[in-house]
Amino acid sequence: MAAFTTVEGIAAPLPAANIDTDVIMPKQFLKGIDRSGLDRGLLHDLRFDDGGLPRSDFILNQPAWNAASFLVVGDNFGCGSSREHAVWGLMQYGVRALIGTSYAGIFFDNCARNGLLAITLPPAEVATLLARVAQADSNRLTIDLAQQTITAADLAIHFDIDPLRKQALLLGLDAVGQTLALRDDILAFQERHFETSPWLR
Q: Is the CB of residue 107 less than 8 Å from the CB of residue 21?
A: yes
pLDDT of residue 185: 83
pLDDT of residue 177: 66
Q: φ, ψ for residue 142 (rounded to 5)?
A: -125, 125
Q: Is the CB of residue 97 less than 8 Å from the CB of residue 118?
A: yes
Q: Is the CB of residue 29 less than 8 Å from the CB of residue 41?
A: yes
Give the pLDDT of the chain (201 residues) as one tens digit per residue.
Answer: 889 999 999 999 999 999 999 999 999 999 888 888 899 999 999 999 999 999 999 999 999 999 999 999 999 999 999 899 999 999 999 999 999 999 999 999 999 999 999 999 999 999 999 999 999 999 999 999 999 999 998 899 999 999 999 999 999 977 666 666 678 888 888 888 888 888 877
Q: Is the CB of residue 86 less than 8 Å from the CB of residue 118?
A: no
pLDDT of residue 178: 64
* pLDDT digit string, tens, across residues 59-107: 999 999 999 999 999 999 999 998 999 999 999 999 999 999 999 999 9
- Helix, strand, coil shares of the chain, percent, nearest 5, are 40, 20, 40
